[in-house]
């Protein structure tokens, strides 16, 4: 029997044992997904390739503290599932995707650890909605080392506050302290059955000193019917660029049809403004497995405005893929 199968069997047995002896007020779930894609891109002559598209495996759980308070956690790893070559190196091996602990109750919830930032979730995700592609958005803080507070909904309003704290003990002899300190973030949301509005701010104060300008964004999503959503957003990263994005998503019963467009207006007059747009469709084979196809055209930031061809020219890309969720 292969070592990987043995390890999985041992892990499953351990989880089953934990679940069997857990208290009645404790839950533990093992979950994950396997994702494959075949992509073709004109970017710098990249060509076509078969790739893993972010397969993950994780465990999550919660336990009651009091009748009004629950502790919870999540630990998720991303791994390469497309080949066995160089499995032990940093690129092909597993890496952290999410890991956090928290408390939730009538006050809302607090998490400590690593997950998508509140700014990314509230402002960027609805436009950057693709399975494989990525649509450019304003610059944001990295994930990790973050304390986050989510308020309960109060007449449709929600407040989310976060601070990424790097401390002062930063590795590297050449570090000048640019990565240390705290980076506050804040999101104010309002939603009802028809519309959702989010205003977000990411200070980015502990990123590289030369690139530490704040980002601010506004996103509005309208849902005129249960299976249709339309989103518009505006973002700006100070002294870098402004972003205008539009997106739509329609559920047709067996999957979704979706598309996004973004215009990027560079603050530097020596750089070209550019556009990115793509469309996609998913089809559900069953409740656990779906396939998808996406096509898009993507501009590149930093293309010099001199009329000469460069590696930063617009390029087109196509992809088909499959995801199994367990």
Number of Cβ within a 10 Å radius of residue 289: 15
SS3 200: strand
List 64's β-bridge partners, or say none: 70
Residues written for the chain: 326
Residue 179 within any structural domain of the chain: yes
108: CB partners within 8 A, 6+ apart: 149, 150, 151, 152
Selection from 16, 42, 45 nearest residue 30 by Cα = 16
Q: For residue 185, what are the contacts with CB-CB under 8 A and spacing of at least 6?
A: 117, 118, 119, 141, 161, 162, 163, 164, 200, 201, 202, 203
Tell me if 170 sits within 8 A of 179, measured CB to CB.
Answer: yes
Residue-number span of the structural domain to which 34 is assigned: 29-325
pLDDT of residue 296: 96
Q: Find where tokens 């300008």 sit.
A: 213
Inform me whether the pLDDT recorded for 207 exceeds 60. Answer: yes
pLDDT value of position 182:
87
In a domain? residue 170: yes
Confidence class for position 298, pLDDT limits 50, 70, 90 = very high
CATH at 144: 2.40.160.10
Does the pLDDT value for residue 313 go beyond 80? no
Q: Which residue has the higher pLDDT, 244 or 23?
A: 244
What is the torsional sign of CA 197, 120, 204, 212? Answer: negative
Cβ–Cβ under 8 Å, residues 103 and 65: yes
Tell whether 15 is covered by a domain. no
Mean pLDDT of the chain: 85
Q: Within a domain: residue 262?
A: yes
pLDDT in the model for residue 261:
98
Rg of the chain (C-alpha set): 22
Query: Given a cut of 50, is residue 304 above it in pLDDT?
Result: no
Bridge-based pairing state of the strands 157-165 and 182-191: antiparallel
In the structure, what pLDDT confidence band is assigned to residue 92 with cuts at 50, 70 and 90?
low
Average pLDDT over residues 92-101: 85
* 2 located within any domain: no
The mean pLDDT value for 265-278 works out to: 90
Give tens-digit pLDDT for 175-189.
554 567 789 999 999
Identify the band that residue 171 occupies on the pLDDT scale cut at 50, 70 and 90.
low
Q: Is the pLDDT of residue 21 over 90?
A: no
Nearest-10 Cα torsion for 51, 292, 244, 211: -20
- For residue 238, the number of C-alpha atoms closer than 13 Å in the C-beta half-sphere is 12
The string over 128-163, giving b where at least 16 C-beta atoms fall within 10 Å of a residue's C-beta and e elsewhere, is bbbbbbebbbbbbbebebbbbbbeeeeeeebebbbb
Q: Decide if 33 is inside a domain.
A: yes
Q: How many domains does the chain have?
A: 1
Task: Give the span between the Cα atoms of 249 and 197, in whole angstroms.
Answer: 17
Model pLDDT, residue 299: 83
Q: Which residue bears the tokens 């990411």? A: 202
Residues 248, 255: Cα–Cα separation, whole Å: 14
Question: What is the token pair recorded at 305?
Answer: 């405005």
In this structure, is residue 124 part of a structural domain?
Answer: yes
Residue 1 belongs to some domain of the structure: no
DSSP state of 174: T
């Amino acid at each position: 029997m292969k070592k990987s199968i043995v390890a999985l069997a041992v892990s499953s047995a351990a989880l089953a044992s934990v679940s069997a002896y857990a208290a009645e007020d404790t839950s533990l779930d093992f979950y994950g997904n396997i994702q494959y894609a075949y992509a073709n891109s004109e970017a710098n002559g990249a060509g076509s390739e078969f790739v893993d598209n972010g397969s993950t495996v994780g465990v999550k759980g919660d336990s009651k503290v009091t009748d009004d308070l629950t502790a919870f956690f999540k630990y998720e790893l991303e791994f390469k599932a497309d080949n066995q070559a160089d499995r032990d190196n940093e690129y092909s091996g597993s890496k952290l995707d999410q890991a956090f602990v928290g408390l939730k109750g009538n006050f809302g919830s607090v998490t400590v650890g690593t997950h998508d930032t509140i700014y990314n979730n509230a402002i960027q995700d609805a436009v950057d909605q693709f399975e494989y592609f990525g649509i450019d958005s304003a610059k944001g803080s990295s994930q990790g080392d973050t304390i986050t507070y989510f308020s309960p909904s109060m007449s449709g309003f929600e407040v989310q506050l976060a601070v990424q704290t790097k401390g002062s003990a930063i590795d590297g002899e050449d570090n000048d302290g640019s990565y240390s300190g705290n980076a506050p973030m804040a999101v104010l949301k309002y939603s009802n059955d028809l519309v959702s509005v989010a205003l977000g701010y990411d200070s980015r104060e502990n990123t590289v000193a030369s690139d530490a300008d704040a980002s601010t964004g506004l996103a509005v999503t309208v849902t005129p019917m249960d299976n249709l959503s339309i989103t518009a957003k505006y973002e700006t990263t100070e002294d870098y660029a402004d972003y205008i994005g539009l997106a739509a998503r329609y559920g047709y019963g067996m999957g979704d049809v979706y598309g996004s467009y973004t215009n990027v207006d560079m603050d530097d007059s020596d750089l070209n403004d550019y556009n990115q747009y793509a469309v996609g469709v998913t089809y559900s084979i069953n409740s656990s497995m779906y396939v998808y196809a996406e096509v898009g055209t993507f501009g590149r930031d930093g293309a010099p405005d001199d009329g000469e061809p460069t590696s930063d020219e617009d390029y087109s890309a196509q992809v088909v893929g499959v995801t199994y969720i367990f």
